[in-house]
Chains A and B, each alone.
Chain A
């Protein structure tokens, strides 16, 4: 499978714990995006990377959230001191990412986080 892969598919944690999700984009894609989706809503943009550089962060991304893409390939999203309101599907997407070109995003299947 050469699509975007995310791990784990499901994560159940207790409030206050830290969690980390991983995303492996399509191999030749330079841009990587993180979105959050709650039930009945569209995906909400969190942040994106052009290679290893984090170029934009939404104000939804509180200081408890941190994302990295250290070598410009896979990315991790960490949530510290999780809260029940963090429960959502976390989606990763990638694109070829040539600047100033509009390109479609390819999504992974997401990580479903449940904070108890």
Chain B
């Protein structure tokens, strides 16, 4: 499944499928980006980060892609699990961390 960030704030995928969450950032001068996961009643939790001199970075089951030309960031989650259900935020660092509105990921068993 794939979301378009602010235009589709909810993404529903089947357990085991791959998820793609997209984010458009605002400032071409931003040089550091983070994806956070927020579960209900908790603060945001760091998932993965990427600096502007990179196009791709991989973590455990997660990959972040950065396209500076169109100011676009995506988070790919492989083999999505029920525990991945949460709201995902991209954040860009200008002088401080600024967050997008988020995408709610729901994983169906």
Contacts and interface: CB of A to CB of B under 8 A. Distances in A.
A104 B49 contact: yes
Interface in A61-116: 91, 93, 102, 104-110
Contacts, number: 52
Interface in A31-62: 33, 35, 40-45, 48, 56
A4 interface: yes
A107 to B, nearest CB: 3
B100 A104 contact: no
Interface string B30-66: 0110101000011111100101000000000000000
Main secondary structure of the interface of B (DSSP, over half): strand
B86 to A, nearest CB: 13
B43 A108 contact: yes
Nearest to B44: A107
Interface of B: 9, 31-32, 34, 36, 41-46, 49, 51, 89, 91, 93, 95-102
Given A44-B99, A45-B98, A105-B46, 7 more contacts: A40-B9, A41-B101, A42-B101, A93-B43, A102-B31, A105-B44, A105-B97
